[in-house]
Amino acid sequence: MRKPEDEIEVKKKYLQLYREFTVAISAMEELLVLIQKDSENLKKLDKDLIVNKQVETMTREIENGIIKKYDACREILNAIDKMEDETERTLLIFKYINGNTWESICEKN
């Protein structure tokens, strides 16, 4: 049979453990809140990174398109420059380089 003093000591130990567990649980709850906030921030960061990659991809595509159009214009100009008739060269430049319609070219000349 236990002595009352021993029972008091056991109860003190249980109370001490309870307090320690309560502190540990509070700390874990705070940590969980921080993890959830970090998770939300990471999700937002991931979305931002995805958007940035999409913007970079679109920018590259636009730049490549510009380069292709520039190369095509240069080829057209080279071909037009090789033509002997100056009037034909002028008309083709108005049409294919300046982007005028045949109607607007006729009105100018």
Give the sign of the dihedral formed by CA 95, CA 98, CA 103, CA 104: negative
CA trace torsion 84, 85, 88, 90 (10° rounding): 90
Kindly report whether the global pTM for this prediction surpasses the value 0.75.
no
> If 0-12 CB within 10 Å is exposed, 13-18 middle and 19+ buried, where does residue 65 land?
exposed
Q: Give the model's confidence band at 45: pLDDT under 50 very low, under 70 low, under 90 confident, else very high.
A: confident
The tens digit of pLDDT for each residue in 74-105 reads 888 888 888 899 998 888 888 888 888 999 98
Would the pLDDT of 27 be above 80? yes
Q: What is the rounded distance in angstroms from the CA atom of residue 89 to the CA atom of residue 92?
A: 5
